[in-house]
Amino acid sequence: MSEKTHFIYADNAATTFPKPHEVLAELLEIYETKGITGRGSYDFSIRAGEFVNRVRRQVCKFFGGDDPTRVAFGYNATDALNTLIQGLIEPGCHVVSSRLEHNSVLRPLHHFLQQGIISLDLVPFDSQGFIDPEDVAGAVRPETRFVILTHGSNVLGTIQPVERIGAICRELYVPLILDVTQTAGIVPIDMGKWGIGAVAFTGHKSLYGPTGIGGLVLSSNLDVRTTRFGGTGFDSTSVNHPKTYPQRLEAGTINQLGVIGLSAGLNYLERQGLDKIYAYEMSLIRQLRDGLSSLDGVRIYGAGSMERCLPLLLCNIDGMDSEQVCTILDGDFGIATRGGLHCAPLVHRDLGRSLKGGVRFSLGLLNTAEEIDRIVEAMAEISRFRKNGLRD
Amino acid sequence: MIEGEEVSALGVRKRSIAGKEIYFDKDGFLLNANDWSEEAAEILSREMGIKTLNEKQWQVIRFIRDFYMNNGKAPLSSELKAALGWSLMELELMFPGGIRHGARLLAGLPNPQSCS
């Protein structure tokens, strides 16, 4: 058997892999005719530009946005979050976020906090991994510029009650920015219905696109300052960056290959159906949870019921460093997982695992029930070995 | 902190081993792989909680070190397993901190800088 057939990939929260063949085929086919910038006046270029705008409409619809021109492409979610955070903060403003956040939110905010530009409150999460909307309400002050939260934790897999938080933010006239890195492509997202000011997304995780493409969707009642400047393909007589969207938030040539791949990924999701994807992936994670729960020495973190959760599970084997477990899973069993802190240090700190982190299994559409059985068997063997030493 | 050790503001630690001044990063990894010696490995292993390095542990340390000096990188798990013939389970539990934070450190390799 080839390496590929041996390999069980359970690190889909980092990036989905492998990409579906039909996504890759569509990407290559379209790139052959639309793989140029849309800034020229020749027909090929105009068609390429029209294609990008079609993808803006597709993305806007996918996230329930209200204006496709306010879909701005970037490299990934971190890039989009930086665009939003840097374009929204004002000296002396206050920001509300949470202790569940990834460093893609924590680090930009702490950069401005340490410079004395902003003040910051991070709301806690409960023992199950959920933020209490009332904590968000209590943290908002008159000078709060925005609330920025992860929709789904990349460590615990918990989906936050953003409908309720969105309603609270709307009542308080504070924009809610959502990091939908882990949820986009797994659960429906409706900016309009939930009162979301902006979402930041990446294309390469559960949207099944390639790496290097992501972006943001901005609601029409929220404006973001330009923080990067450059060529936009129009109004070239002016040395000032345009104020119109989406160019206002895009500088330089767009990742055309990425946009095409993102579109192919969205088309793929539409054919599969989000409800079916979620049901399938959650059936796998429940199977994994049930299997691991029955093992001695395996500790599982996060929500007990797996209601409002992503297909992601964090655990540890007693007495073992998470990275050791991951190395053994890879080297002895051909299972790819992620140990350590998952770039979300405060979550682990609050779980009391700050030094060792945890073993994260994150499943995708291409995982199978047979693979879950193999993962459980592998974890059982490692746990036994830790306790009793090697069998003959 | 170890007796006689100096720590810089950036966390770089300087200490004397076998009459030689050696610099370590904040996690205890050598900053310069050429500063490594078997004596240094013995001292560091004792500080790690290993009474005396046994022959199997030396085999792992020597393989990792030779691989690094010849290839400029640490061996992959699959390369380690193929070369030494032991499972990753055995290898990982042979050193406190496993291969990445135990054996690599004792072999004088740079900090693997993982997400922890």
Does the beta-carbon distance from B97 to A321 stay under 8 Å?
Answer: yes
Among A332, A342, A386, select the one facing B88 at the smallest CB separation: A332
Looking at this protein, which amino acid is placed at residue A87? G
Q: Output phi, psi for B78, to 5 deg.
A: -65, -35
Q: How far apart are CA A89 and CA A85, in angstroms?
A: 6
Q: Which helix (H) or strand (E) holds A329?
A: helix A322-333
Best A320, A327, A379, A383 residue to mutate vs chain B (most B CBs within 10 Å): A327
Length of chain B in terms of residues written: 116
Predicted local distance difference test score (pLDDT) of residue B55: 97
Q: Which two tokens stand for residue B88?
A: 């990753």
pLDDT band at A392; cut points 50, 70, 90: very low
Q: C-alpha angle A149/A226/A210, rounded to 5°?
A: 60
Mutual angle of helices A43-63 and A256-272, in 10-degree steps: 50
Domain borders along chain B are 6-106
For B16, B40, B107, the CA distances from B21, given in Å and listed in that order, are 4, 11, 17
pLDDT at A217 over 50: yes
What tens digit of pLDDT does each residue of A292-349 get?
999 999 999 987 888 999 999 999 999 898 999 999 999 999 999 999 899 999 999 9
Residue B115 falls in the annotated catalytic set:
yes
Q: Which residues of A touch B114 (CB under 8 A)?
A: 323, 339-340
- B72-107 burial code (b ≥16 CB/10 A, e <16): eebbebeebbeebebbbbbbbbbbebbbbbbbbbbb
CATH says A21-272 is which class?
alpha beta
Residue ranges per structural domain of chain A? 3-20+273-388, 21-272
Does the domain at residues A3-20+273-388 carry the CATH identifier 3.20.20.140?
no
Instruction: State how beta strands A298-301 and A214-218 pair.
Output: unpaired
φ/ψ (deg, to 5) at B90: -65, -45
Q: How many CB atoms lie within 10 A of CB B15?
A: 18
Mean of pLDDT values over A17-24:
96
Q: Give phi and psi for A133, each to the nearest 5.
A: -55, -30
How many contacts, defined by CB atoms under 8 Å, are there between A and B?
A: 59
Whether A102 contacts chain B with CB within 8 A: no
Question: What integer best gives the mean pLDDT of chain A?
Answer: 94
Q: Which of A322, A332, A340 sits opposite B89 (nearest CB)?
A: A332
pLDDT digits over A124-168, tens only? 999 999 999 999 999 999 999 999 999 999 999 999 999 999 999
Q: Does B110 touch chain A (CB under 8 A)?
A: no
User: A340: left (phi > 0), else alpha (psi -120 to 50), else beta?
Assistant: left
Q: Tell me the CATH number for domain B6-106.
A: 1.10.10.370
Q: How far apart are CA A81 and CA A200, in angstroms?
A: 6
Looking at the complex, report in whole angstroms how far the Cα of residue A108 sits from the nearest Cα belonging to chain B: 18
Mean per-residue pLDDT, A103-123: 98
Greatest Cα pair distance in chain A: 77
Q: If you average pLDDT over residues A27-48, what whole number do you get?
A: 93
- Select the residue from A3, A6, A104, A321 to test the B interface by mutation, using most B Cβ atoms within 10 A: A321
Return mean pLDDT, chain B.
Answer: 91
